[in-house]
Amino acid sequence: MRKIVIGQAGGPTAVINTTLYGLTYGLYRDCALTFIEDGFDGLVRGRFVEGTDEVYSWIEENKNVPGACLGSGRFPMDDRHIKKIVDNLKDIGADALAIIGGNGTMQALRKIENKVKKEGLPLQIIGLPKTVDNDLGVTDHSPGFASAAKYIANATLDMSRDLYSMKNFEQVRILETMGRNTGWLAAASGLYRKHEEDGPHFIAIPEKKLIVTELLETIDNAVEKYGCALVIVSEGVELDLDREANQITRNVVHGRPILGGVSSEIEPLVQNELGLVARSELLGINQRSASMSVSSIDRDEAYRIGTSAAGWIKQGATGVMASIQRKETIDYDVDIKHVSLNEVVDEGERKLPHHFIRDFNAYYEWLAPLVGENTTSYPSPTSRSINHDKK
Amino acid sequence: MRKIVIGQAGGPTAVINTTLYGLTYGLYRDCALTFIEDGFDGLVRGRFVEGTDEVYSWIEENKNVPGACLGSGRFPMDDRHIKKIVDNLKDIGADALAIIGGNGTMQALRKIENKVKKEGLPLQIIGLPKTVDNDLGVTDHSPGFASAAKYIANATLDMSRDLYSMKNFEQVRILETMGRNTGWLAAASGLYRKHEEDGPHFIAIPEKKLIVTELLETIDNAVEKYGCALVIVSEGVELDLDREANQITRNVVHGRPILGGVSSEIEPLVQNELGLVARSELLGINQRSASMSVSSIDRDEAYRIGTSAAGWIKQGATGVMASIQRKETIDYDVDIKHVSLNEVVDEGERKLPHHFIRDFNAYYEWLAPLVGENTTSYPSPTSRSINHDKK
């Protein structure tokens, strides 16, 4: 039987184990499977686990569990690491390498593929997409993103109602989302907004320069009109203050900056410049791990990505990434197709496109079918009758 | 028709509008209802809204929406405010005042009741409990708490799996919960924990002095055994550092300290003392507002608190708070009874009891029926087969 080596890499999502399950169950009858522990780190160190019935059952039990059950991680790689990986794969007699990951993973897979080609090895290289940030190219979107977007859209509307109740105590909340250098997640915060009193009243994304005076003016106007203002800011936004504009990082691990903290820099600006009570909050790791708010479409697509990749592996495909291609039908539908790994890597970090930045409603039309409807209907935060009394 | 004045006060919960709905629908056929905007602030300023069919429908539409739809708030009160409130209630010809709130609300209601008694006014005073912190006495628990506990228990387990996947990148997470001066919510974080690799590996609550050396030792041991450590710390915990022990506050509004930030003080301790990568996070406002993780028992009890209070108001009760009394049956069941407002206020902030602090499992047995089962089953984070390979 051919030997397929399978791993997970990068930040986990709520559905990355669903993709692993789809891939495993598409392959285990026909191939020998070997699993990598802890992503590229384990691949370099040769930490492999043979697929047994017990492991397969355990992967099935994990299919709806957040986190990457094989172990994931972030691992900065140089040419020696690539060589070591290829040597390890040769040593165990691998016929194919399939890794579920994001942009960093696809870059690494391309390097491995180049090395393999140079050596003339018959080793297939396949990437399976996952990213909450939605910054992978050549796919309509990636598994993990819709569930994170759903979490953010719900949390924003819920916290908006909380804030609206408490506006005589606290007027401004600044919520910070994930997204790295893209605004897909931050912009998703407005998906369920139906009433102008509800936030977000301002969304700051990395694709657009944040003008602090404009932000403060919007907050001031919202507080004037609604009594409160809810601001969403993406972790990758650069603040345009006196010092040189740059992203705020909370830590650097293995040379990778962990973004986070721009909201807490905005908080004192609001308090000092506008004299309002403001609270900044990171929406946190829960954005990518919350099991309570998984989108059923996301779960379904994550599974199909896995089973489709399994099919291509058996057909001998290499140098490809599984992708989601939206059909041009009235009702939402997708094809799972393979695209060139080179194309994906060359496109790089995919930003929120201009036509969505210009018109968030166009973005929400695109986004809505992935995330699903809000299960609770939220009436206007102020009853019309109460409004009448005020006039 | 008798006139009942209804309001919401203090920090909102995910089910406070359900109690309002129960109360309103228990009364509106038999009484004239008047609603207070923005809690005690509105009561002092005389911001009343007459109950109309339109307002009743709107309250019904809000029954599953988080936040306090009438407007809530925090408002520090002195004797002049109490006098103004009683005058306002006399002016509008109120027969009863019913407010949904926490400890601050019950204290204020007692003062109003004393004033009303002294003046010999026939005005009924009724409190309806709500608090995510669960720090109200003379009730088994309060509406809002179980949903917040469910959110925390789910988030902790989900983030635990996320952390376990990423342990070669980041080893320690310190999650900070709400709870003010009590550990009910922080301790709830372990409710769904079934495997020792999963967090929380340490829970810090305000009822127990935090010994930093003990915390660091526990983290060190967990990282040694499992590769990572997840710590839960209640916002009200005092840090035992060189300076005088005290709670960490992020802000003071209307004289009320907003707790928050102790987790971010622990983060550098872990990094510096243990040389591990640590990340601290506040679980944030979502704990009290998340609509996705409402406990159905909590929702049901919140409603029954409202309808029961409506019944007592019609029967002429005064100086009481609605409470939840757990029956001594094998299957979980409760009675909604009224208790003395004086007793509630005299008990003050109810802490997590000693027998629960000594044995969190006893606490989880008490807590489980309120919160409900975890809908997803989480297998051990490490497959047994993978463990075998390691040995």
**Residue pLDDT, tens place only, B209-243:** 999 999 999 999 999 999 999 999 999 999 866 55
Across the interface, do B71 and A283 touch by the CB < 8 Å criterion? no
Q: How confident is the model at residue A386 (pLDDT cuts 50, 70, 90)?
A: low
Name every chain A residue with its beta carbon within 8 A of the beta carbon of B157: 291
Tell me how far CA of residue B277 lies from CA of A69, A75, B229, in angstroms.
Answer: 21, 15, 11
Contact B281 A285 (CB under 8 A): yes
| B196 vs A243 pLDDT, higher one | B196
What per-residue confidence (pLDDT) applies to B242?
55
Q: Which B residues in the span 335-374 are in contact with A, Cβ-Cβ below 8 Å? A: none
Among A292, A371, A387, A390, the strongest candidate for a mutation testing the B interface, having the largest count of B CBs within 10 A, is: A292
The tens digit of pLDDT for each residue in B27-40 reads 999 999 999 999 99
CA B341, B342, B344: angle at the middle one, nearest 5? 65
pLDDT confidence band for B158 (50 / 70 / 90):
very high
Tens-place pLDDT, residues B80-120: 999 999 999 999 999 999 999 999 999 999 999 999 999 99
Strand A172-177 relative to strand A334-340: parallel, antiparallel, unpaired? unpaired
Q: What pLDDT, on the 0 to 100 scale, is given for residue B390?
A: 43
Which pLDDT does position B76 carry in this prediction?
86
Q: What does the pLDDT look like over A117-140, one tens digit per residue?
A: 999 999 999 999 999 999 999 999
Residues of A in contact with B64 (CB under 8 A): 376
CB-based contact, B159 to chain A, within 8 Å: yes
Pair A198, A225: CB distance under 8 Å? no
Q: Tell whether B60 lies on the interface with A, counting CB pairs under 8 A.
A: no
Q: Is the pLDDT of residue A382 over 90?
A: no
The pLDDT score that the predictor gives to residue B245 is 54
Residues of A in contact with B282 (CB under 8 A): 281-282, 284
Residue A157: list chain B partners with CB under 8 A.
Answer: 291
Q: Is the pLDDT of residue B361 over 80?
A: yes
The secondary structure of chain A, three-state, reads: CCEEEEEECECCCCCHHHHHHHHHHHHCCCCEEEEECCHHHHHHHCCEEECCHHHHHHHHHCCCCCCCCCCCECCCCCHHHHHHHHHHHHHCCCCEEEEEECHHHHHHHHHHHHHHHHCCCCCEEEEEECCCCCCCCCCCCCCCHHHHHHHHHHHHHHHHHHHHHCCCCCCEEEEEECCCCCCHHHHHCCCCCCCCCCCCCEEECCCCCCCHHHHHHHHHHHHHHHCCEEEEEECCCCECCCCCCECCEEEEECCEEEECCHHHHHHHHHHHHHCCCEEEEECCCHHHHCCCCCCHHHHHHHHHHHHHHHHHHHHCCCCEEEEEEECCCCCCCEEEEEEEHHHHHHHCCCCCCHHHHHCHHHHHHHHHHHHCCCCCCCCCCCCHHHHHHHC
Gap between the Cα atoms of A145 and B46, Å rounded: 48
Per-residue confidence (pLDDT) for residue A389, from 0 to 100: 43
| Cross-strand pairs, A167 | none
- pLDDT given for residue A185 in this prediction: 98
- Mean pLDDT to the nearest integer, B344-363: 98
pLDDT tens for A5-49 read 999 999 999 999 999 999 999 999 999 999 999 999 999 999 999
A14 vs chain B: nearest CA distance in angstroms?
A: 9
Determine the pLDDT at residue A158.
Answer: 98
CB within 8 Å of chain B, chain A residues 252-271:
253-254, 258
pTM: 0.97
pLDDT tens-digit readout, B260-316: 889 999 999 999 999 999 999 999 999 999 999 999 999 999 999 999 999 999 999
Q: Are B206 and B181 in contact (CB under 8 A)?
A: yes
Is the pLDDT confidence value at A162 over 70? yes
- Residue A224: pLDDT band (50, 70, 90) is very high
Asked if the C-beta of A6 comes within 8 angstroms of chain B's C-beta atoms, the answer is no
How confident is the model at residue B216, as a pLDDT? 97
User: CA–CA distance from B210 to each of A123, B97, B215, B355 (Å)?
Assistant: 55, 42, 8, 18
Interface contact A73-B279, CB threshold 8 A: no
- When CB atoms are compared, the residue of A49, A161, A164 closest to B386 is A49
Q: Among A91-100, A221-230, A244-253, name the one with the lowest average pLDDT.
A: A244-253
Subunit contact B164:A67, Cβ cutoff 8 A? yes
Q: Measure CB to CB from residue A292 to each of B39, B168, B292 and give the nearest one.
A: B292
* Cβ neighbour number for residue A25 with a 10 Å cutoff: 17
Q: What percentage of chain B reaches a pLDDT higher than 90?
A: 89
Residue B129 pLDDT > 60? yes
Query: What confidence category does residue B8 fall into, taking pLDDT thresholds of 50, 70 and 90?
Result: very high
pLDDT at A385 over 70: no
pLDDT of B130 higher than 60:
yes
Distance CA B115, CA B83 (A): 8
Task: Compute the mean pLDDT over every residue in chain A, rounded to the nearest whole number.
Answer: 94
- At residue B119, the 3 state secondary structure works out as coil
Q: Using alpha carbons, select from A64, A7, A47, A51 the residue that is nearest to residue A25.
A: A51
Return the ∠ at Cα B285 (arms to B283 and B288), rounded to 5°: 100
In tens, the pLDDT along B162-190 reads 999 999 999 999 999 999 999 999 999 99
The CA distance from B387 to A234, in Å, is 40
